[in-house]
Amino acid sequence: MGLSSWITTKYSAVLVWTDKRIDHSVLNPYIYDPSVPAAIIGAIIFPAISLFLIYQYFRYRSYFFWCAIIGVGMYTIGFICRIISATDELEDLSFLISFLMVLLAPSFLAAACYTAFSRVVWFSCPSERLSFRTLWCFPRWITPTFVLFDLLSFVVQFVGAGLISRSYDHDESHDRSIEETERKATTGRVILVLGLILQMSCFASFAVVAIRYFSISKQWRSQDLGDWQMWRKLNYMINIAAALITLRAIYRTIEIPHDKDTGLQYLQSHEWCFWVFDALPILATLMVFTIFHPGRYLPRTYTQFKLNKTTAIQQKDELRPPSVITSVELRDYRPEDFEREAGVRGSAGVRT
């Protein structure tokens, strides 16, 4: 009888412990059990590549690329906090920080693509072709136009994410349920998805403009400074990064709206989907940034925080006059050549 009572007591304790685990897993904002080793790997790789991008930022003095630095900084914070939340799923603050940082950081990476494309256009496009008819956008407003829409989508996403995060705040009530939490998060989900759709629309428009420019610019190959050795590699960077960020945005758009009873629940309830469709595309984007860093291919005039368009055009036309003929032999330029040759020509003009 004593043994029977001991077994009954132990069985009841197990049931109580199991019920708590079930309740906790239901209220767990991850929905799945996050992998601690995967979180550790992410917290090592992303900060490492972020540090390298920061080094390149100062090494090449590419100050216009500041949006990318903010983006990689947010990812670093996000994945470090993911380790904390993965080891302690009851820690709401670390999950909320990780959720917000990883969700919103791509907006800054997209803004970096917009600014890089603007510098490529001003550097590579013949001065007489800098028009809306050629570019399908106003040359002087390339960066402000796309960044403005990107900022708007960022604000909308931030509001939606903020409403969702409030649904996971610590609640001391004993009748807390996942159904009640999901009901509170519905408004936030709708707003967040609207922000993601706005971001995708903006990026899709940008992709059309960028890919078209890459195509039509081939006709100016005879006027290209350095042929394929310089700015065309930046076009590859921009287009590849655009495709990767768009893939990630599509995943987020179809993943966020669905609760445990509707839609693509599989995307939310399996961690590998996050790593493959969110983390991996962004990691590939950062690797593209490091391989084809704008500071390696653009003259220093074009890498400053603000582009002096008048000076940039004058310097470009000095090195590549509009009267160049198609039979001219092209040479491989480096960013340093622009400062040196422009300085020589300036000195010659003073002597004459």
DSSP character string of 158-211: HHHHHHHHHHTS----TT--HHHHHHHHHHHHHHHHHHHHHHHHHHHHHHHHHH
Per-residue pLDDT, averaged over 339-348, amounts to 51
Going by C-alpha positions, the residue among 25, 184, 40, 16 that lies closest to residue 90 is 25
Q: Do 5 and 68 belong to one domain?
A: no
Per-residue pLDDT, averaged over 5-16, amounts to 33
Q: Do 53 and 20 belong to one domain?
A: no
Round to whole Å and give the CA distance between 301 and 231. 14
Going by C-alpha positions, the residue among 129, 109, 339 that lies closest to residue 240 is 109
Per-residue pLDDT, averaged over 266-285, amounts to 90
pLDDT score for 8: 31
User: Residue 10's domain spans which residues?
Assistant: 1-30
Q: Do 225 and 346 belong to one domain?
A: yes
Residue 331 CB burial class (10 angstroms; 0-12, 13-18, ≥19): exposed
Q: Do 166 and 123 belong to one domain?
A: yes
Looking at the predicted structure, is the pLDDT value of residue 143 above 50? Answer: yes
Q: Do 67 and 21 belong to one domain?
A: no
Per-residue pLDDT, averaged over 316-333, amounts to 49
Residue 15 CB burial class (10 angstroms; 0-12, 13-18, ≥19): exposed
Higher pLDDT, residue 176 or 242: 242
CB 123 within 8 A of CB 216: no
Give the angle 93-99-101 at the CA atoms, nearest 5°: 100
Reported as a single tens digit per residue, the pLDDT across 101-133 is 998 899 899 999 998 888 888 877 777 777 777
Q: Do 212 and 247 belong to one domain?
A: yes
Band (pLDDT 50/70/90 cuts) for residue 27 is: low
Looking at the predicted structure, is the pLDDT value of residue 92 above 50? Answer: yes
Q: Do 49 and 99 belong to one domain?
A: yes
Exposure string over 250-277, b if 16+ CB within 10 A, otherwise e: ebbbebbbbbeeeeeeebbeebebbbeb
Q: Do 272 and 330 belong to one domain?
A: yes
Alpha-carbon distance values, 226 to 239, 329, 335 (Å): 20, 10, 10
Q: Which two tokens stand for residue 87?
A: 């080891």
Looking at the predicted structure, is the pLDDT value of residue 267 above 90? Answer: no
Per-residue pLDDT, averaged over 336-343, amounts to 54
In three-state secondary structure terms, 219 is: helix
Q: Do 336 and 233 belong to one domain?
A: yes
What single DSSP character describes residue 275? Answer: I
Which residues have CB under 8 Å from 152's CB, separation 6+?
198
pLDDT score for 284: 95
Round to whole Å and give the CA distance between 338 and 346. 12
Q: Do 16 and 128 belong to one domain?
A: no
Looking at the predicted structure, is the pLDDT value of residue 164 above 70? Answer: yes
| Most confident residue range from 152-156, 221-225, 294-298 | 152-156
Q: Which two tokens stand for residue 126?
A: 């013949």
Domain count, the chain: 2
pLDDT score for 161: 79
Q: Do 191 and 279 belong to one domain?
A: yes
Q: Do 284 and 239 belong to one domain?
A: yes
Q: What is the mean pLDDT of the chain?
A: 75
Band (pLDDT 50/70/90 cuts) for residue 268 is: confident
